[in-house]
Amino acid sequence: MKVHITNLYGQSPLSVALMAQNMVADIAKKLDIKEIGIYSFNADGESVENLAIRFDGMNAAVGNGDVIIFQAPSWNGTHFDHEYIKRLKIYAGIKIVIFIHDIPPLMFSSNFYLMEKTIEMYNMADLIIAPSQKMLDLLYQHGLRVTNTLLQNMWDHKTDIWLEKPAFHRVVNFTGNPQRFHFVDDWQFATPLNLFAPEYYPTKPNNVAYQGWKYSLSLLQELNKNGGFGLVWSQGEDAEYYNLNVSYKLSTYIAAGLPVIAPRSLSNAHYISEYKLGFLVDSLEEANAIVSTITEEEYRSLLDSLWNFRELITKGYFAQKLLTDAVHQVMI
């Protein structure tokens, strides 16, 4: 019996979806899990016959009785993902784990018509790894029948970079495109907002300090140098999805050594409160008030709590445990 995991290639190196899949696959290799590469392309117009030929090439090392961990979605379209899981079923005794990173029909209302087919694909799995209990409950409401499940709850952000504990500054850091996160342009608080984004053209006066676009090690270093807090925030449809999914930027801030400020409705908010990783708030006004009044002693206390948790994230222990538990649950 061998264990395999799918891994995405061909997207922009700035793609968070690509980073997340590559990181999980890299952690999986250390557990002797073999990689199945998936190149990014638009497969919506591909015939089932052509896809089958492609899949057989991808699955050349797959055998009867193996375990496949499919990182979903592939971002090649629901048609591609659905047909790939169907194709895996030709192997006798195969065990299929679907590790849900994102659900496009829930991310974008214009894609909700794909929900039925997405659930149909999930129901072919032997085990589902869902981001959160809230997400799992919603999937059951939409027809999910798989009862063998695990919850992810937290992303890793693997890095070997050595960082000092950050300085105490009354600032908030945010990574994200202001065209998607409109609260950035409205930031009028006394607390400065350090923005990391591909580009930013403010439409009104505000207290935003544009930091340019950084990623990987340079982002962690800049966040750590800025000190203060990392902000997880969203609005509209994004806010509803954040309540269900696991925020990758949350782990990025923790990996940079920053305490976080996040909405109470965040799917894994209990981690922040239980392990004293920062503050949960109901509004940006509340966030500003916290940063304006916190003492350096209180900030240092947060760093002490956060630093041990940071070790788990930067060493990949969340994914290691999740992947190991998944193999155990489908085999026993």
> Which is it for the CA torsion 260, 265, 269, 274, positive or negative?
positive
Q: In what order do the strands lie in the sheet with 34-39?
A: 34-39, 3-9, 67-72, 95-100, 127-130, 149-151
How long a stretch of residues is the chain?
A: 332
Q: Is 300 annotated as a binding residue?
A: no
Determine the 3-state secondary structure of 71 from DSSP.
strand
Q: Do 35 and 4 touch, CB atoms closer than 8 A?
A: yes
Residue whose C-alpha is closest to residue 44's, from 81, 98, 69: 81
Q: Is 252 annotated as a binding residue?
A: yes
Q: Do 250 and 268 touch, CB atoms closer than 8 A?
A: yes
- Token reading at 25: 């696959």
Q: Is 249 annotated as a binding residue?
A: yes
Q: Is 84 annotated as a binding residue?
A: no
Q: Is 31 annotated as a binding residue?
A: no
Q: CA 185, CA 210: separation in Å to the nearest integer?
A: 11
Q: CA 166, CA 18: separation in Å to the nearest integer?
A: 28
What 8-state DSSP symbol labels residue 102? -
Q: What is the 3-state secondary structure (H, E, C) of 107-121?
A: HCHHHHHHHHHHHHH
Q: CA 184, CA 46: separation in Å to the nearest integer?
A: 40
Residue in this structure with the two tokens 């788990």, named with its chain if needed: 312
Q: Is 201 annotated as a binding residue?
A: no
Q: Is 144 annotated as a binding residue?
A: no
Amino acid at residue number 195: L
**What's the angle, vertex CA 235, arms to CA 242 and CA 229, rounded to 5?**
75
Q: Do 128 and 144 touch, CB atoms closer than 8 A?
A: yes
Give the residue ranges of the annotated binding site for UDP: 180, 247-252
Give the residue ranges of the annotated binding site: 180, 247-252
